[in-house]
Amino acid sequence: MSLLKPGHRGCAGCGDALAGKFVLDALGEDVIVVSPTGCLEVFTTPYPESAWGVPWVHSLFENAAAVASGVEAALKSLGRKNKTKIVAIGGDGATLDIGLQAISGAFERGHDFTYICVDNEAYMNTGIQRSGATPLYANTTTSPPGRISSGNPLYKKNMPAIIAAHGSPYVATASIAYAPDMMKKVKKAAEIKGPTYVHVHAPCSTGWKFDGSKTIEVGKLAVETALWPLYEMENGEITTVRKIKNRKPVEEYLKVQGRFKHLFTMAGENPNIKKIQEIADRNVKQFGLE
């Protein structure tokens, strides 16, 4: 059985739950997990139940990286660090927005831990509000399309680049739709000494509005359209890239999700979809995806 036990309260088809399971599948028992506030935290630990088969600690929304720093320092000071891995698993809001300062501090200080961002591109736990990870034109409850708006007006923040700028020895992107690739990267990140980072794309059927049976399919489309490039960076240099054969147009990814439905209501070619296609095209160029 997985170390993230069944019976938790995640939605059917939850990408976060898959991410948590894959992390533990990759790392095994000798790991301490730090969770900030978020879906994964709430649905795995309704007192007195816990789905975690490894030691787990949640403190607040914005401080997971600082808490992880303290856990690492304590284990070192008490002579208990040995091979034990310390992993923080936070959502995109906890990572890109409210927890960014604590993450910056922890990476600058060089603690031996891995931070995993499980990115479902909005504040799902509070009801699908926009975060710094919400993609352009997505419909969220705080970036709704309307008479004069096409949804979220801002581009997604490039968090892996921010972490790489801290001199992290290992930064990778991954997707729950590519489980073996994700697990390999998580394991590698945890084994490399120092602060490492894996940014995992994790579709949310509730927030993105698709059927819970399609989570993997939607995750694959993000990669196949080049909207979510998969790569590894070691010491600031891109070392591996997952190439895309027969790249799909972004419409194929957008049209299966209710959060982009408003982009398909106007007759003729929608200039906003063109803008999203440009993001994919830029990714292809930047990372050499083809």
Site residues for another protein per CB under 8 A: 29-32, 34, 41-42, 45-48, 50, 52-60, 62-63, 65-78, 80, 84, 101-102, 104-106, 108-109
Comparison of 44 and 140: residue with beta carbon closer to another protein: 44
Could you tell me the smallest distance in angstroms from the CB atom of residue 10 to another protein? 13
Q: Report the distance separating Cα 62 and Cα 65, nearest Å.
A: 8
Comparison of 17 and 68: residue with beta carbon closer to another protein: 68
Comparison of 69 and 175: residue with beta carbon closer to another protein: 69
Could you tell me the smallest distance in angstroms from the CB atom of residue 80 to another protein? 8
Q: Report the distance separating Cα 189 and Cα 246, nearest Å.
A: 30
Q: Report the distance separating Cα 250 and Cα 135, nearest Å.
A: 13
- Torsion-angle region of 206 (φ positive above 0: left; ψ -120 to 50: alpha; else: beta): alpha
Comparison of 70 and 169: residue with beta carbon closer to another protein: 70
Could you tell me the smallest distance in angstroms from the CB atom of residue 95 to another protein? 15
Could you tell me the smallest distance in angstroms from the CB atom of residue 65 to another protein? 8
Could you tell me the smallest distance in angstroms from the CB atom of residue 284 to another protein? 36
Three-state DSSP state, 37: coil
In the block, residue with structure tokens 């699908």: 128
Q: Report the distance separating Cα 184 and Cα 188, nearest Å.
A: 6
Name the burial class of residue 177, with classes exposed (0-12), middle (13-18) and buried (19+) by CB atoms within 10 angstroms of its CB: buried
Could you tell me the smallest distance in angstroms from the CB atom of residue 289 to another protein? 35
Comparison of 68 and 124: residue with beta carbon closer to another protein: 68
Could you tell me the smallest distance in angstroms from the CB atom of residue 106 to another protein? 8
Contact between 208 and 259 (Cβ < 8 Å): yes
DSSP state of 115: E
Q: List the structure tokens of 99.
A: 């927890």
Comparison of 74 and 161: residue with beta carbon closer to another protein: 74
Comparison of 53 and 144: residue with beta carbon closer to another protein: 53
SS3 track for 228-264: CCCEEEECCEEEEECCCCCCCCHHHHHCCCHHHHHHH
